[in-house]
Structure 1
């Protein structure tokens, strides 16, 4: 069984530099970091945040793909 530290939306926002509202919007529309839903609570794995950030790296603005 895999046990990992989960963080809430506020902590995820602080780690990513985004607002909690932006993370909520990304959950609704898609394209954001993977999250875990435990009842009504939304949590993030720090490794999932890092993977999402890495997947969105670009060397120039011409590489950006929404």
Structure 2
């Protein structure tokens, strides 16, 4: 599981953009583990594939 910072770095976007996408329900899926948001790398890659098709 990737942190928000690791996910943002992988996608090449600011961390704030991930938070905005999450708030607007348009970004990649994430999980709340305790007080932290975590992203599954497989989910990120799948989400990216759907974005190419859109």
Map of 1:27 onto structure 2? 22
**How many residues in Structure 1 have an aligned counterpart in Structure 2?**
54
More contact order relative to length (CA 8 Å, sep ≥ 6): 2
Unaligned runs of 5+ in 2: none
Question: Counting helix residues as a fraction of each chain, which structure ranks higher?
Answer: 2
In structure 1, stretches of 5+ residues that fail to align are 1-5, 59-63
List, as ranges, runs of 4+ consecutive aligned residues in structure 1 with deviation greater than 6 Å: none
Deviation track 1:4-45 (CA, whole Å, cap 9, x = no partner) reads xx0100000011111110000011111100001012100000
Q: TM-score, normalised by structure 1?
A: 0.76
1:8 is aligned, of 3, 19, 32, to 3
